Amino acid sequence: MQDSELSLDRRGFVARGAAAALAAAGVAAAQEPAPPKPATTPPVRQDPGLRPGPGSRLQREDDPRTALTEAVCVLLPTAGSTATGFVRFSRSERRQFSVRGEITGLPAGQKVALQVNEFGDLRTANASATGGPYAPPVAEGDAEANAGRPSDLALVASDADGKAVFELVLETITINARRNPVLGRSIVVIRAGDASGAKLAQGVIGVANPGWKPS
């Protein structure tokens, strides 16, 4: 075989080898599984009644789609007490709150204070888990937001049968709106008029059933 023919034959061998290598690489690429797609996190739906506030905190607006108008607190006796009752909150058209309640099982002529406490936690029989008086921070530009101390609901006295019935109007609270919301917190009934300050009843402020009627 002459040199020119030998050179052509070698070039053909190299070309056939390169084609085979490319074909093998194509098969390997076809068999290799595709890399997994990165996981995506679904978008978080923001409550329409919330908006970013100072310091990137969320503040609840008085939005009619989210602001509640009814709440109720069922009072249960603490250890050694027989006091029971309820407190009901109803918002009026003027955004005032009518607070109606009834407490029974009190000593005759006993004065008691109804106080909103920080936590709706009834895990202790002496109401110690409810924390201290609810004292929300004053919002910027709203110097009157805390006026009247929203923790102080009422001071009432029982009759000769140990029953106290009360009704008042408050402008210092809301249920779950931006200004001083009380939903999820507690009400504690405290003996007044002496130094003991004994806690007689406790309950959590919850969403009221608007259709409920006494049986």
Q: Please give the pLDDT value at position 93.
A: 72
CA distance 72 to 119: 15
Six token digits for residue 48: 């329409």
Q: Give the DSSP letter of residue 131.
A: -
What is the Cβ-side half-sphere exposure of residue 165, based on CA atoms within 13 angstroms? 3
Q: How confident is the model at residue 42 (pLDDT cuts 50, 70, 90)?
A: very low
State the average pLDDT over residues 172-198.
Answer: 90
Q: Give the DSSP letter of residue 44.
A: P
Q: Which residues contact 186 (CB under 8 A, 6 or more apart)?
A: 73, 116, 117, 118, 119, 120, 121, 122, 127, 130, 202, 203, 204, 205
Say if residue 114's pLDDT is above 80.
yes
State the average pLDDT over residues 77-84.
Answer: 97
Beta-carbon neighbour count of residue 159 at 10 Å? Answer: 12
Say if residue 184's pLDDT is above 80.
yes
Q: Are strands 58-60 and 152-157 parallel, antiparallel or unpaired?
A: unpaired
pTM for the full predicted model: 0.68
CA distance 85 to 72: 11
- Provide the Cα torsion 64, 66, 72, 74; round to 10°: 180
